[in-house]
């Protein structure tokens, strides 16, 4: 028969009461420091939470203020749009009235205008000569150039030898006469019984000589 024996060795540590108190105080101080640290952290978190709450409240107030501003702006836009619409309608009415008044005055003006004919400038000219000799013209005798070559506007009368001006203006006259020897003559251009031009010719020489008198 055999028997087994188990041997247990116990190490016992014995501490004094002072050592235990010292250890307990150390642990207590450590716990106090932990609690203080946690309290400080909690206080900081509370402060941060308070700041966040304030920021949130301020943001909410700002959002509310912005919403009010947006509402006011919308009302102003609607009001201005309504005013512009009314003004456009009024302007269109005024423009229509102005157009109607303008057309009315145009009709009245056109009806009151009396057309005046403005005479266009017309060319006047004549050219004529005598078909026979005038042997003995006397004082006050009118030379009649009876053969008409040009008579624009019909101002010259070959039967009376008188030219009547058709329009006011400046007119130029020229004439030429042939005189035989031993004769003289004074010829005048008359305007309403007044002398406007004159020419005098005296012929001396052979019986067959003559002189061309121009004016």
Tokens of 114: 């009396």
Residue 200: predicted pLDDT: 66
Choice among 54-63, 132-141, 143-152 with the minimum mean pLDDT: 132-141
Q: How is 76-91 classified by DSSP, letter by letter?
A: HHHHHHHHHHHHHHHH
Q: What predicted TM-score, i.e. pTM, was given to this entire model?
A: 0.40
Cα of 177 vs its chain's centroid, Å: 69
Q: Per-residue pLDDT averaged across 154-167, rounded? A: 87
Residue 107: predicted pLDDT: 76
Nearest to 188 by CA among 130, 134, 143: 143
pLDDT confidence bin for 15, thresholds 50/70/90: low
pLDDT confidence bin for 208, thresholds 50/70/90: very low
Tokens of 35: 């609690």
Residue 10: predicted pLDDT: 46
pLDDT confidence bin for 197, thresholds 50/70/90: confident
* C-beta of residue 123 within 8 angstroms of C-beta of residue 169: no
Residue 175: predicted pLDDT: 77
Residue 9: predicted pLDDT: 47
In this predicted model, what pLDDT tens digit does every residue of 62-116 receive, in sequence order?
888 888 889 898 888 888 888 888 887 777 776 667 787 788 777 777 666 666 6
Close Cβ partners of 123 (under 8 Å, ≥ 6 residues apart): 152, 153
């Amino acid at each position: 028969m055999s028997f087994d024996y188990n041997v247990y060795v116990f190490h016992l540590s014995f501490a004094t009461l002072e050592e235990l108190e010292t250890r307990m105080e150390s642990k207590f101080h450590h716990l106090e420091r932990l609690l203080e640290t946690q309290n400080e952290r909690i206080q900081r978190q509370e402060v941060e939470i308070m700041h966040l709450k304030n920021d949130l409240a301020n943001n909410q107030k700002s959002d509310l203020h912005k919403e009010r501003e947006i509402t006011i702006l919308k009302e102003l836009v609607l009001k201005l749009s309504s005013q512009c619409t009314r003004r456009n309608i009024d302007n269109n009415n005024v423009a229509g009235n102005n157009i109607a008044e303008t057309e009315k005055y145009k009709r009245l003006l056109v009806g009151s205008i009396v057309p005046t004919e403005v005479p266009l400038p017309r060319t006047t000219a004549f050219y004529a000569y005598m078909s026979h000799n005038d042997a003995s013209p006397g004082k006050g005798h009118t030379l009649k150039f009876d053969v008409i070559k040009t008579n624009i506007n019909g101002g010259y009368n070959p039967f009376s030898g008188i030219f009547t001006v058709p329009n006011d203006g400046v007119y130029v006259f020229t004439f030429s006469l042939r005189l035989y020897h031993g004769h003289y003559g004074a010829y005048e251009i008359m305007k309403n019984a007044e002398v406007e031009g004159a020419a005098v010719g005296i012929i001396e020489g052979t019986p067959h000589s003559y002189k061309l008198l121009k004016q």
